[in-house]
Amino acid sequence: MSRYCIYLRKSRQDLEAEAHGEGETLSRHKNALLELARKMHLTIDTIYEEIVSGETIAARPQMQKLLSEVGAGEWDGVLVMEIERLARGDTMDQGLVAQTFKCSNTKIITPIKTFDPSNEFDEEYFEFGLFMARREFTITNRRLVRGRQASAKEGKYVGSVAPYGYKKVKLDEEKGFTLEIFEEQADVVRMIFDWFTDGAEINGVKKRLSLHAIAIRLNELGIKSLANKEYWTYYGIRNMITNPVYIGKIRWGYRKAKKIVTPDGTRRKLREPANEGEYIVVDGLHEPIISEDVFAEAQRIIAERATPPVKKHLRSANPFIGIMYCAKCGHSMSYSNPSGKYDQPRINCLTPGCKCVSSPFSSVEKRVLSILRDWVSDYEISKSDVKKEQHLSIELEKAITKAEKEIKELQKQLDNVYEFFERGTYSEKVFKQRSSAIEQKISELEEDTEKLRNEQMLALERQKAQSEFAPTVKHLLDVYNEIDADEKNRLLRLIIERITYDKDKSGAFRNVSPDCFTIGILPKLPRKGN
């Protein structure tokens, strides 16, 4: 039985049209594609609605899910308004979309044309359409960037979210937005600057608070940060203290986006501060919350307290950088090395207000290595087991081929039933009985085939784990005590997606074991039997 789905996504033009009162785009597109499906006698099983806007596939969860299912051969066709809705980003995304639809032989159905990836002319037309979409996207993006830059130079606010202490408001009788003071939050902003520059009273003594201390105090007072996030952080306070928006300025282009491709092929976007002269700072149309004198004093203190840059020849001592996270607040765990005579390195969460308790680094490291040894034990198998897995994979492939052949034969029978009905050989009653019986058999076979494919996929993953994953883990364990933390981190990243750490009670003076913590590890390959 053929399966079809609909994919809906808004473009920038759609958003502009909605702003001019042309109605909700996804709803109109959904109705149009459902009408198209009705005319083509197609049954729609699922409708994917992309409610977020993203330049890349990585930023579009519904598109990721659709591509995964298309790649697995779950759909015979996907209905979209235009092929540009599938991929308008860079050439890597377009290539991924084109290759996925081609390899799975999944049709792309639009109101204008149906694209069959197995047809070389349709394939060429499809790729050309993606190329033109990318070209149009690039031109539009440049125009929008120039427009935002021009607006910023006029003192308008061009950010998507207003900074803490302000509300974003539409300008009267002209394009663009400005900021309006939100007094409830503005009082908090003034308090933060006051604590940082003048000080706060603690036990009858007034002293300046550090950025970290300010975050802790705000969390203790139960004051919510921007967007009602649970915790204020050191970086959130620092960004506020250094943002000239609070003295009535507009800063544009300060953080430049830099795209990188990691060794595992994942694309990431990093934002780095621009150099002096590469960004603009102009008088804004909004009212300031902080005086220029107070702001200047805050910048002087920031510069005075700035931590000297880490020397390049110094190496990290933490092998879990970027892979170990707090189970309570989700922030990255830190490594500290106290200088006290009897102290030892510890793993802790530095998020102000987070109740996760620290542990000795040696205990955490020991637990992680113990879990890795269990993994090796899980994956190490005999030669006979390897042959058994290979034989199972071959048998599953044969079963899948046989089931697919039976489905094709049943499809032919179903076509004949339709032909006999059209000729008048079968009555409507006989047609419904015979077509229903065949469709039921096809459906059952398709379900069986899907189960076989899943079983085969698991068998292949186990083979990959046995041939690649286990040896990598074993090598790491063999050399662990002979390599530095940076090399340990590199090898750990090959096998581990994420480590979570959790601890509720401190062991100090409470007869609580220092090992009373929980470690969860997500491998980059499934565990044996999963």
Q: What pLDDT is stored for residue 54 in this prediction? A: 61
Q: State the pLDDT confidence band at 262, using cuts at 50, 70 and 90.
A: low
Question: 87: exposed, middle or buried (C-beta count within 10 Å: 0-12, 13-18, 19+)?
Answer: buried
Query: Which residue would you say has higher pLDDT here, 275 or 323?
Result: 323
Q: What pLDDT is stored for residue 499 in this prediction? A: 92
Question: 133: exposed, middle or buried (C-beta count within 10 Å: 0-12, 13-18, 19+)?
Answer: buried
Q: State the pLDDT confidence band at 515, using cuts at 50, 70 and 90.
A: confident
Rounded mean pLDDT of 312-334?
80
Lowest average pLDDT, out of 9-18, 394-403, 459-468, goes to 9-18
Listed in sequence order, the DSSP H helices in 272-360 are 292-305
Q: What pLDDT is stored for residue 142 in this prediction? A: 72
- Does residue 311 surpass a pLDDT of 50? no
Q: What pLDDT is stored for residue 113 in this prediction? A: 86
Against a cut of 0.85, is the pTM above it? no
Lowest average pLDDT, out of 47-61, 287-301, 473-487, goes to 47-61
Residue 370: count of CB within 10 angstroms of its CB: 10
Q: What pLDDT is stored for residue 243 in this prediction? A: 93
- Integer Rg of the chain from CA: 30
Q: State the pLDDT confidence band at 53, using cuts at 50, 70 and 90.
A: low
Report which residue type is found at 89. Answer: G
Rounded mean pLDDT of 33-42?
88
- Whose structure tokens read 């899948």? 400
| CA 2, chain centre distance (Å) | 32
Q: What pLDDT is stored for residue 381 in this prediction? A: 54
- Does residue 22 surpass a pLDDT of 70? no
The string of pLDDT tens digits covering residues 71-81 is 888 999 999 98
Q: Is 522 helix (H, G, I), strand (E, B) or coil?
A: strand
Q: State the pLDDT confidence band at 185, using cuts at 50, 70 and 90.
A: very high
Q: What pLDDT is stored for residue 383 in this prediction? A: 46
Rounded mean pLDDT of 153-165?
89
The string of pLDDT tens digits covering residues 466-504 is 666 777 888 888 899 988 888 899 889 888 888 999 998
Cα–Cα dist 530/522, whole Å:
13
Considering the segment(s) 4-150 as one domain, its CATH architecture is 3-Layer(aba) Sandwich (3.40)
- Does residue 528 surpass a pLDDT of 50? no
Pairing of strands 77-79, 4-9: parallel
Query: Which residue would you say has higher pLDDT here, 262 or 528?
Result: 262
Cα–Cα dist 1/524, whole Å:
35
Q: What are 401's two structure tokens?
A: 């081929």
Instruction: Pick the closest to residue 14 from 1, 29, 30 (CA basis).
Output: 29
Q: What pLDDT is stored for residue 23 in this prediction? A: 44
Q: What pLDDT is stored for residue 42 in this prediction? A: 86
Instruction: Give me the CATH topology for the region 166-305.
Output: Hect, E3 ligase catalytic domain fold (3.90.1750)
Cα–Cα dist 15/33, whole Å:
19
* High-pLDDT (> 90) share of the chain, %: 20
- Does residue 132 surpass a pLDDT of 70? no
Which residues partner with 273 through β-bridges? 255
Question: What's the chain's average pLDDT?
Answer: 80
Which residues partner with 324 through β-bridges? 499
Q: Which helix (H) or strand (E) holds 167?
A: strand 166-170
Q: What pLDDT is stored for residue 159 in this prediction? A: 85
Q: What pLDDT is stored for residue 495 in this prediction? A: 84
- Does residue 156 surpass a pLDDT of 80? yes
The string of pLDDT tens digits covering residues 346-359 is 898 888 778 888 89
State in Å, rounded, how far the first CA of the chain is from the last one. 30
